[in-house]
Structure 1
Amino acid sequence: MSRQRQEGRSMSLLRLSAFRFGRGQVLARALDLDLIAGEQAVLLGPNGVGKSTFLQALLDPALRLGGEAQLAPGARVGYLAQSGEALDALPLSGRELLSLTQATPAGLPPALAACLDQRLDALSGGQRQFLRFWSIAAAPFDVLLLDEPSNNLDEAGVHALQHWLARPHPAQAVLLVTHDSRLVAARQRRLSLEPA
């Protein structure tokens, strides 16, 4: 999706209004958000306030307990969960993982590009994590929901992730959950989840 405009202003790819979520009970105070193409927001808050559940609620209406969540018409969402355990049992190569999401290997760090034809279960946890991230980030998604993308990454992986986040991505909006201060940049909009 190219950057959309409505009445001369950028159109929200993701709009939340008084959004409340949880697993049976509201976990955090209501949240409002307008996220446009090219924008990155980082979601901060104490452990246990529900940052991961918040991202899941954007995909699963059963976790929505009030307010509204709207995606722009035709917007595609890519979600990187904290855990990639579901992939561990699948006999996939890195190249096959990227093809599942139509992600391009162009721009992948050379050390990881060299691993694309190996099975994921033969790679290190950090290599698998970065390929999971890349399968979302380099795919044709409009809204990226990234939950702790630096988990299991070594210093080189974190640096590559920082480099990706620092580049402009004019057709994508990014909503990032992280405890890794190295991924929080001044240009990112900061959102705070507070206990209900």
Structure 2
Amino acid sequence: MIYIVLISIITSYICNKKIYKICDELNQNKLNTIIIYTLNLLSMSLIYYKYGVNAESIKYLSLIPFIIVISIIDYHTTYIYDITVLSGIIIQGGIFLITIKYDVNTMSHIIALLIGLIVPYILATTTKSLGQGDIGVYCLCCFVLGHNYSMYLIALSFILACPYSIYILLYKSNKERKIPFAPFISLATITIIITNYDILNLYFGIISK
């Protein structure tokens, strides 16, 4: 466990330094630093507790810093930088190739990547509910999760975004009604990693009662 704490501290330090170099518009403040360190430590600890150390957990652990940085930038600027998404995909692609012989679901991740590209693209072009950057984030997260969770991820991210969307519609002017969607994709991703289908099962359990 001590190694996970050290890894989370190191990655948090790197994220905290790089985030302001990636996005010049983002002002340095202690709140962002606290969020980065807290989310990194909490997410990585929960992943380690659930999966231990294996090929699957390595993918998840290496994803966390990227989606945290992407989410913070998107929340403050409603913009997703290509370099953050592409870097994440490259890293995950490298891990995928290295661990391919230990992964029995190789095709699952390739199919998931296509789902993460095609379905959000259709939503973005037909409903205008997503930006182009969000498609890249979906590609990254779906690729890591595999095809069994891809559609679940897309649905859950919209469900999680609903309360914030209602708040935006009620209390913000038309010019301010841009919804930073990456934080909800990231939250849905972390939720799925930690709980698998537990949240969905709980939801349907409540509905059935």
Q: TM-score, normalised by structure 1?
A: 0.29
* More strand, by proportion: 1
* More helix, by proportion: 2
Q: TM-score, normalised by structure 2?
A: 0.28
